[in-house]
Amino acid sequence: MAEKITGAEAMMRALEKEGVNTLFGYPGGAIMPTYDALYDHKKTLNHILVRHEQGAVHAAQGYARVSGKVGCAIVTSGPGATNTVTGIADAMADSTPVVVICGQVGVSMLGTDAFQEVDVVGITSPASKWSYQIRRASDVAWAVSRAFYIARSGRPGPVVLDFTKNAQTELIDYKPAKINFIRSYDPTPALNKDSIKTAAKLINNSVKPFALLGQGVELGNANQEVKALLEKAQIPFASTLLGLSDIPSDHPLNMGMLGMHGNLGPNVMTNQCDLLIAIGMRFDDRVTGNLDTYAKQAKIIHFDIDPSEFNKNVKIDVAILGDCKESIPAVTELVDATKHDSWIAGFKPYAEKEYNKVIDKATHPENGPLLMGEVVQKISEATNNEAILVTDVGQNQMFACRYFKYSKPRSVVTSGGIGTMGFGLPAAIGATFGAPDRTVCVFCGDGGLQMTLQEFGTIMEQHAPVKIILLNNNFLGNVRQWQSMFFRRRYSFTPMLNPDYAMIAKAYNIATRTVIEREELNDAITEMLNTDGPFLLQCAIMEEDNVLPMTPPGANVDEMLLEI
C-alpha cells in the first residue's frame, strides 16, 4: 500500500523529482501548509526568502538564465500572487523557464471573494505558457511534472500553478509522475529536409551573408553548433541584446550588437547584405527599426523553434522550424567551406568610425565627470571578461551591454522584451545561486535600483556575493535622453532626489564605496572584486551622459545617430 502524505508534501517530493534544489519565495496564509512541508526538506530544497514576490520571480529568472535549469518561485495567494505578474510577463517575453507556485483559497471558497482570493489563472494565462489550478492533492504530481515539461521544452517560458489550500492539506496515496508527452503540444517538431537544402543552397550562393544571433542559440545549447556553421562558411554575425554571449566577444566574425543602441556596422550592413540568417531571434522592433525598409535587398532564412515567429514581423524566404541544436548541424553539413574576406572587411570602416566618434569618447574621456561607458569597460576588463553581466533597465542597461565583453556562454541576464525596471538586483541574486562559481556584476541606475531596493535584505541574509554597480546620474536617464532629443529638453519628472545609497548599504551590512573622481575608479573596482561577499560601488556619473549610437524611433535601421 502506498504511503499517505499531504498534497503539500507531494509538492515537495515532486519538485525534488524535477531536480529542483533552489526556491525563491515568500510565505503567507494560503501557502502555509506547503511551507510547513518545506520545513522538513531544508537539506534538499534551499529556500531563499526574498523581500517581495516580484523579486522571487526575477531571482528565479536570473537563476534559470545562468544555470540552464528551470527557476522556481513560491508565494501566497492574493497580493502575493499578483505581485508575481510582472516577473511572469517578463519571463514570457524573454523565453525564460520558470515555474511559479501560488497559494490559493480552498475550493469551497472559490468565487466567494474570500480573503486574499484572486483569479490567478485568469490573470496569468495571457502571460504564461500554461496556468493551472490544482484543486485536488491527487493532481499534484501530474501537474508539477507537466509544468516543468512545458516550462523547459520547446520555446521555454513561465508556468503558473495555483495551489488551493485544500489540495495542500488532503491526504493521498502518493505516486510520482513523469510527463514527457502532451498530445496537443509539439515542442520539438521534425526538421523539413527540403528547407534545410534550400537554406544551404542560399548560403552557398551568397556573396554577402550576415547572421543575426538571438537568445535561442543559448536556450538551445547550440553555441558550438552555430559557431561551426559561421566559421565554415565565414559568415560575419551580430547579436541581439539577449544573445550577446552566444559566441565570445573577441571572435573575429563577431561584429557586435544589433538594434537601436547597437553597433553601427551591423545595422548598416543589415541593409547591404544579400542573405540574412536569423537564428533564435524574433525580429523585435528595437532590432529592425522601420520595417518598410528593413533588409529588403536580402533573402532571409529564419531558424526558430516557435512557428509563430515566422513572418510575424519580417517576411522571410526560408523557415527552418526546429531545435537549432539539430537544425544548424544539418545545414552546416551541406554548406561549402568558403571565404568572404572582402565582405567582412567592409564592416571595418564603420567600426572605426564608431570608435572614433563614440566609443573612444565614452571609454577614454580626458576630463570631466565619470561616464557610464568607462566604468563598464574597466569592470569588464578587471574580471578578464569572464563575469556574468546582469543589468537593470535604462541607460545603465544599454551602456553595460555595449561595453561589457563576454568569453563564456550564459553571461548576459537582462530584461529585453518588456524592459522591467527593478529587474536587475533580484535577478543578480538568483544568478549567484545559479552560477555560484562565477562573479556576478549587476549594473543599475538610481531609478531602477529603488524599485527593488528591499532585496538588499535578501543579499544581507544570504551574504549573496552580488557586485552592485550603481551608475548614479540623479536622473531617469533613458527617459531624460529621449526628452532631450525629442521633447525640447523639457525634463518632465525625470530629475531624481536620491537617498544616501551608501548609508542604506551599510544598514544592510553591504560593503560600499562611492567614486566621484576618475583617479579613484581602478582602486575601487579592485576593492569591490576582492571583497568577499556583496559590494555596492556607487559611481557619480555625468548627468547628461547619452547612449550612442542611436537609431531614432521609426527610423531606418541604418540611420544611426553618432552624436546629438
Query: What is the CATH number for 470?
Result: 3.40.50.970
Q: Using DSSP, how many helices (H) and how many strands (E) does the chain show?
A: 25, 20
Q: Distance between CA 421 and CA 393 in Å, rounded?
A: 5
- 290 and 417, same domain (yes or no): no
The SS3 of residue 538 is: strand
- 316 and 241, same domain (yes or no): yes
The answer to whether the beta carbons of residues 87 and 130 sit under 8 Å apart is no
The answer to whether the beta carbons of residues 90 and 392 sit under 8 Å apart is no
Taking CA atoms, 143 is separated from 99, 152, 181, 508, in Å, by 11, 14, 13, 39
pLDDT band of residue 2 (cuts 50, 70, 90) is low
Residue 282's nearest CA partner among 242, 250, 248, 338 is: 242
- Asked if the structure places residue 147 within a domain, the reply is yes
How would you class 68 by CB atoms within 10 Å of its CB: exposed for 0-12, middle for 13-18, buried for 19 or more? middle
- 288 and 433, same domain (yes or no): no
Task: Name the residue range of residue 263's domain.
Answer: 193-348
Please name the amino acid found at residue 399. F
Q: Distance between CA 319 and CA 302 in Å, rounded?
A: 5
- Asked if the structure places residue 96 within a domain, the reply is yes
- 414 and 526, same domain (yes or no): yes
- Asked if the structure places residue 548 within a domain, the reply is no
- What stretch of H or E contains 100? strand 98-104
- 235 and 151, same domain (yes or no): no
Of the residues 111, 145, 173, the one at which a domain ends = 173
- Asked if the structure places residue 558 within a domain, the reply is no
Of the residues 123, 139, 173, the one at which a domain ends = 173
Mean pLDDT of 469-482: 96
> How many residues does the structure list for the chain?
564
What would the pLDDT profile of 393-446 be if each residue is shown by its tens digit?
999 999 999 999 999 999 999 999 999 999 999 999 999 999 999 999 999 999
- Asked if the structure places residue 360 within a domain, the reply is no
**What pLDDT does residue 459 have?**
98
The answer to whether the beta carbons of residues 158 and 97 sit under 8 Å apart is yes
How would you class 116 by CB atoms within 10 Å of its CB: exposed for 0-12, middle for 13-18, buried for 19 or more? middle
CA angle 289, 290, 296 (to 5 degrees): 105
Grid coordinates in use for 435? 552560477
What would the pLDDT profile of 497-520 be if each residue is shown by its tens digit?
999 999 999 999 999 999 999 999
The count of structural domains within the chain is 3
Mean pLDDT of 131-158: 98
* Backbone phi, psi, residue 333, to 5°: -60, -30
The SS3 of residue 12 is: helix
The answer to whether the beta carbons of residues 23 and 99 sit under 8 Å apart is no
The answer to whether the beta carbons of residues 525 and 517 sit under 8 Å apart is no
- 210 and 308, same domain (yes or no): yes
Beta strands 299-304 and 237-239 are unpaired
- 376 and 487, same domain (yes or no): yes
Instruction: Tell me the average pLDDT of the chain.
Output: 97
- Asked if the structure places residue 125 within a domain, the reply is yes
- 342 and 388, same domain (yes or no): no
- 156 and 231, same domain (yes or no): no
Mean pLDDT of 110-120: 97
Mean pLDDT of 38-60: 98
**What pLDDT does residue 177 have?**
95
The answer to whether the beta carbons of residues 172 and 138 sit under 8 Å apart is yes
* Helices assigned H by DSSP within 19-134: 32-38, 53-67, 79-82, 85-93, 120-124
What would the pLDDT profile of 65-84 be if each residue is shown by its tens digit?
999 999 999 999 999 999 99
CATH of residue 285: 3.40.50.1220
Q: Distance between CA 478 and CA 548 in Å, rounded?
A: 12
The answer to whether the beta carbons of residues 232 and 250 sit under 8 Å apart is no
- Asked if the structure places residue 112 within a domain, the reply is yes
Q: Distance between CA 269 and CA 557 in Å, rounded?
A: 10
pLDDT band of residue 366 (cuts 50, 70, 90) is confident
Q: Distance between CA 406 and CA 528 in Å, rounded?
A: 20
First-last CA distance in the chain? 75
- 413 and 340, same domain (yes or no): no
What would the pLDDT profile of 275-319 be if each residue is shown by its tens digit?
999 999 999 999 999 999 999 999 999 999 999 999 999 999 999
Mean pLDDT of 359-370: 95
What would the pLDDT profile of 186-242 be if each residue is shown by its tens digit?
999 999 999 999 999 999 999 999 999 999 999 999 999 999 999 999 999 999 999
**What pLDDT does residue 294 have?**
98
Q: Distance between CA 561 and CA 552 in Å, rounded?
A: 8
Grid coordinates in use for 459? 543579499
pLDDT at 386 over 70: yes
- 40 and 93, same domain (yes or no): yes
3-state DSSP helix/strand/coil % of the chain, to nearest 5? 45, 20, 40
Q: Distance between CA 541 and CA 521 in Å, rounded?
A: 12
Of the residues 145, 173, 201, the one at which a domain ends = 173
pLDDT band of residue 1 (cuts 50, 70, 90) is low
- Asked if the structure places residue 159 within a domain, the reply is yes
Neighbours of 104 (CB within 10 A): 31
Please name the amino acid found at residue 339. K
- 162 and 214, same domain (yes or no): no
